[in-house]
Amino acid sequence: MKIKITLDKMILILATVLLIFHTFTFFQAYYNFIATAVIFLSILILDVFRKRKCVFNNENKAVWRLAVATLVVIAIGILVKGEGAIIMWGSYLPFIMWPTIYVITEPIFDVKSRKKVVNLFLVIFAIGVIATLRVVMRDNEAARLLAGAATEAERAEYYKQGVGGYGFIYGTVFVLFCLLTWAVQEKNATTRIGLIALIVPCFMLVIFASYTAALLLTLVVTFLSIYTRTKRRNTMLIILIGVVVIVLLWEPILLGLYDVAKQLELHWIVKRIRQLLEASSSGDFEGLKRVELYELSLDTFINNIWIGGEKMGAHSFFFDSMAKYGLFGVFFISSFCAWLNDLRKKCSGARGMVYFVCMMFLCINTMDVLVFLPIISLLIPVFLQSVEDRRNHQKA
């Protein structure tokens, strides 16, 4: 049987290779920026041959805007702040690369190709989750070491074991949203059991990784995924009610999490929740380390409003971008949010709210661009559309 290789198929294969390579930290031990840039350039060239026009046209204004904002940030980093060219390109090329790949591949993907990519991703993702869970259940410091304290050599050794770090943990939360959305809408009992078999280790991984923000974020995406099953249309009203409930039940929720974390001996989460409870009871949040870091970034931005300064809290993607690049950082952030909003509009129903959750997450946390951006920019749209394909097929 002959397999016909077309330009469309070549583009999808290269995009899938990049998605898998960037998403799973096992491959990051062998990560090569030049190879990534070459594959991306190949996708661009193939796309030009395929339709004889550039992806950066008036039809894709959000991508254009984000590309320009990213190039400005790269130029400021290299020319004004003296950062190395490879470091700047390595840090910020993904902001051009993944939105561009999404725009190129969106019209190429069909029902079958989406299903194949999602299934392939889930097989490798399951391996990554189990490998990481196996380590963090023995040593819940492992994921935190990978977030910052470990040397590059130590990280590489973890990665070779298939252990995911900071980016993989938070990426898992958003993959979990897709899995839960699929599970609550799936009618086939066997498929639903298979999904639950993967969802449970994902929940366990988030718990044992000991990231308090990831745990709270998981509660949010779980609620959102369940809400996608309902037929109600007052999305903003429901979300507002949810926010009010969370605000009113803030302390009981934290106390419940505190008790669970204490029983599981998750020392980092116990420590963080105790700090939050103490700050809540005293009404003084200024003493929290995270708040101090946010204030440091904001002060740097205010005092160096044009092109930013040197001091950053390094705990908020948005605040730190503003601190480092001033008003150009604001342009970069607003362009990125506009791109996320474009993705939101293309999702049916309440599913698009996951991109608002992403924006809120980036207000309070940093981002591992290698892992997080491909999940947000390519995997989630393809995954959610595949769920919709399956739902339509079951209705037919």
Burial 150-186 (b: 16+ CB within 10 A, else e): beeeebeebbeebbbbbbbbbbbbbbbbbbbbbbbbb
HSE-CB for 322 with a 13 A CA cutoff? 21
Q: What is the pLDDT of residues 8-57, one digit of tens each?
A: 889 899 999 999 888 886 666 677 788 888 999 998 888 888 776 666 66
- Distance between CA 67 and CA 87 in Å, rounded? 17
**pLDDT tens digits, 282-339:** 555 555 667 778 888 888 888 888 887 777 766 788 888 888 898 998 999 999 999 9
Residue 268 has pLDDT above 80, yes or no: no
pTM: 0.85
Gyration radius of the chain's alpha carbons: 21
Mean of the per-residue pLDDT values of the chain: 80
Q: Name the E strands within 154-247.
A: none
Q: Decide: 359 and 3 in contact? Cβ < 8 Å.
A: no
Q: Does the pLDDT at position 222 exceed 90?
A: no
pLDDT of residue 185: 84
The pLDDT of residue 1: 44
The string of pLDDT tens digits covering residues 129-185 is 888 888 887 776 666 666 666 666 777 777 777 677 778 888 899 999 999 989 888
pLDDT for residue 143:
63
Looking at residue 332, its pLDDT comes to 92
CA-wise closest residue to 239 among 378, 90, 159, 349: 349
| pLDDT at site 119 | 92
pLDDT tens per residue, range 341-387: 888 888 766 678 888 888 888 888 887 888 888 999 999 999 988 88
